[in-house]
Structure 1
Amino acid sequence: MTRSADHHPVHVEGRYAENMTAVVEAFAASVADPAAGGAALSVWHGGEEIVDVRVGVADPGTGRQWEAETRAVLFSATKGLAAIAVARLAEEGLLDPEAPVASVWPEFAAHGKGRITIADVLAHRAGLVAPATSMTLDDLVDISGFAARLAAQPPLWPDARAHLYHALTWGPLVSEIVRRATGQDAAEFFAREIAAPLDAAVTLRADEHALGLVAPTTMAPETALLTSRTVPQMGELAERMLTAGGALPLTLVGNRTGLNDPRVLGSGLLSAAGVGTASGLARIWSSTVRPTRGVRVLSDDAVRQLTSPRSEGPGATDTDTTGPFHRWGSGVQLASEALTWLSPDSFGHDGAGGQAGFADPRYGVGFGYVTNRMAPSSLVGPIVAALRAALDDA
């Protein structure tokens, strides 16, 4: 990279390649009020970082600026990272995605769930989208206990015949599957085998050091109002899905509550609550499709297995909408009308409030965008469009 962003007119800091100016401008425009929140963007191309920029404040309460080491809460972008770890375990022969969950976790077979496979769980087909009973924060951060609750429940539909996003239950299910199948802790495996070789500042279970670098997430008043009104209107199931049976607030975040609570961020809830830098996020996704810092975390064959479509079209409750709908591989979002990203080959995961991490093998790109100011819709569309244009013109 050859250009410094330190004197950008909206106070963007960092560095970027000369042909990425329009990308940085689109990034700067994604932060409406740099005094109310901040964001960071990283793009890796061909295994090299071509954009590493940031803007705004990491903590509006103190005025602390967003620095290179500042970490954001990744929300559901955490799922994509956990899915990479599972794909790596499968590639090493330690886990078979096509095997029934009950083959490694016998209790899961309760209520006719014996034919649900590990891949079905990864692709949101298990029918266990919410806890059947109310939960407390203590229940939420007890990941094995949370998983046991879900294993004891009947599914909402039989034999993985439908799909519906498992917003918060996905993580405990996947965590327990990994533990039962391999004897390993998923967050620890990710730290050791994925993040550490890349020197990526990303973790699925935050320790005290990581917690000290986190930018607390805030929500614009209009976004909070929209969320608190629309979620209850979606019905009781949706409310239980999005709050884990009442363990989290409807808005997901508050002052050291929800996904700002250190207990949640330190729990290893693979559904959400990972924390990391944009650069760390992007380099991990880059390493799934290109050698990055000399590391390739997945082979081409493992990527094909990870991205083989497993769920698409209307979800189980999508009876009154014509889409567009998301598409899913084994825990990753695939490019779709709902999520275009760079090309039809893109895969990754976004998160509430605007977070996004993805890879694109066609362009050889790893992309990471993080923010601490929750928005009602994705913020990365104009950034990705500018990136596509710049790469096509190169």
Structure 2
Amino acid sequence: MSARGASVSGTVAPGYEPVLEAFGAAVENDVDTGAALCVLQHGEVVVDLWAGVADGRTGREWEADTPSVVFSCTKGLMSILLARLVQEGRLDYEALVTDYWPEYAAAGKASTAVKDAISHRAGLSAPRVDWSRADILDWDRATTLLAEQEPLWRPGAAWNYHAITHGWLTGELVRRVTGRMPGDYLSQLVAEPLGVDAWVGLPDEVQDSVAHMVVGPTLEALHLRQVEQARLVAVDWPFRAMTLGGALPDRLVGDDDGFNRADVRRAQIPGAGGIGSARALATIWSATVTETNGVRLLDDATIERATRVQSSGAPFFAVPGPWPRWAMGFQLDSEARRYLGPESFGHDGAGGQVAFADRRHEIGFAFLTNRMEADDPRGTAIVAALDRVVGSSAAVRP
């Protein structure tokens, strides 16, 4: 099919044509990169689109089931796992982290509540000491470093985005409660029952099918500005939160660096290392709000509890607004990240990835791209088009 000159494959249900047009506009300038979009409503696929190139080095085309690194969308998946444990009575948002992870009490963190640890209020947004790639590939090493670290601010007193460290905080809670690594629990609870391809810790047999990530011009320009700004201060903590002091490149990827490396993808790095197809992510988010493929992951009472605002307003380390809002690990609708309204919850990811659910319209949504840009309008424009569709009578209920 065609939209604004872009060659797009896939299907769109009657009434969702504006979403096709928005997706076409998002990919019309892609030459050596691509993208995918999937939307479920009421548990059924209504938009399933893909276009472009998954790997510009070889010319491999993007296909219906092409998996891609989803970056911080992984935090949304981890938040689903935690919410399910709360629903089952195995985890309590109000409890102390040390009730599950006793070693976390070190360096003044004994009073940290679970709800603060998972809503960017832990005070561990960046490491005080430089981490190496070997540190992030070793689960026990990474979680021990965090457990031993003195927080950057009093836990619970303020928030600042835990860009990478968030995943080890949530993941270790999952591991302590279930006895399983978070990627294994994701497979057991979510991916296998739903029949979708999503991983935290990529199996070797699917390494070659993953989209190769490329840094776009706006992200490259932002990187250069950030490097210059970092020279002007003793420690640029938000910048350090992305690199962990050298373990990752500041753009998160390189030609054979960061999340383009097989060993990094193989490791369980649940703050940013999730991998899946757009179809998989949209299916997972759909299953949080309505039965999908015979599975309902979260009940309404749990969603109500898990989506209460925990962090909003200006962060601890000053950055220009607008600022996002956070619930129990979930990202909520805000001026910084528009979803479909107050009934939406999910998480976006570096470079333009967007994935969320909406209770009111029973939507599961995922847009993934391997052309990483900064302050990216592509996903936002597609969400806005979907908002116009579901807010009207144009769409035909599947």
Q: TM over 0.5, yes or no?
A: yes
SS in structure 2 of the partner of residue 353 of structure 1 = coil
User: How many percent identity over aligned positions?
Assistant: 42
Measure the CA separation in 2 of the matches of 1:8 and 1:228.
32
Q: Deviations over 1:355-384 (max 9, x none)?
A: 010001011111000000001123211111
* Aligned residue in 2 for 1:154: 150
- Answer with 88-97 or 305-314: which moved more: 88-97
* Aligned residue in 2 for 1:391: 390
Q: How does 1:13-162 map to 2 (within 5 A)?
A: 13-162=9-158
Measure the CA separation in 1 of the matches of 2:23 and 2:353.
13
Select the residue among 347, 350, 355 that pairs with 2:345.
347
Q: Deviations over 1:242-276 (max 9, x none)?
A: 10121111121111210111111111100011111
Backbone CA RMSD of aligned residues: 1.6
Q: Deviations over 1:115-162 (max 9, x none)?
A: 101111110100001111111111111122111111111111124111
- Is the 1:140–1:244 Cα contact (8 Å) retained in structure 2? no
Measure the CA separation in 2 of the matches of 1:228 and 1:335.
29
TM-score, normalised with respect to structure 2: 0.94
Select the residue among 186, 203, 225 that pairs with 2:182.
186
Measure the CA separation in 2 of the matches of 1:194 and 1:382.
29
How much has 1:222 moved relative to structure 2?
4.5
SS in structure 2 of the partner of residue 317 of structure 1 = coil
Measure the CA separation in 2 of the matches of 1:339 and 1:220.
20
How much has 1:200 moved relative to structure 2?
1.6
- Is the 2:219–2:351 Cα contact (8 Å) retained in structure 1? no
Amino acid at match of 2:124: L
Amino acid at match of 1:157: W
SS in structure 2 of the partner of residue 150 of structure 1 = helix
SS in structure 2 of the partner of residue 107 of structure 1 = helix
Q: Deviations over 1:148-190 (max 9, x none)?
A: 1111111111241111000011111222222223322211111
How much has 1:7 moved relative to structure 2?
9.0
Measure the CA separation in 2 of the matches of 1:7 and 1:27.
8
SS in structure 2 of the partner of residue 241 of structure 1 = helix
Measure the CA separation in 1 of the matches of 2:218 and 2:70.
21
Measure the CA separation in 2 of the matches of 1:8 and 1:212.
31
* Aligned residue in 2 for 1:224: 220
- Answer with 274-283 or 88-97: which moved more: 88-97
- Is the 1:7–1:13 Cα contact (8 Å) retained in structure 2? no
- Is the 1:38–1:57 Cα contact (8 Å) retained in structure 2? yes
CA gap 1:8/1:162 in 2 versus in 1, 3 angstroms: closer
Unaligned runs of 5+ in 2: 394-398
Unaligned runs of 5+ in 1: none
TM-score, normalised with respect to structure 1: 0.95
Measure the CA separation in 2 of the matches of 1:164 and 1:149.
19
How many equivalent residue pairs? 388
SS in structure 2 of the partner of residue 311 of structure 1 = coil
Measure the CA separation in 2 of the matches of 1:390 and 1:329.
27
Q: Does 1:315 align with 2:311?
A: no
* Aligned residue in 1 for 2:327: 329
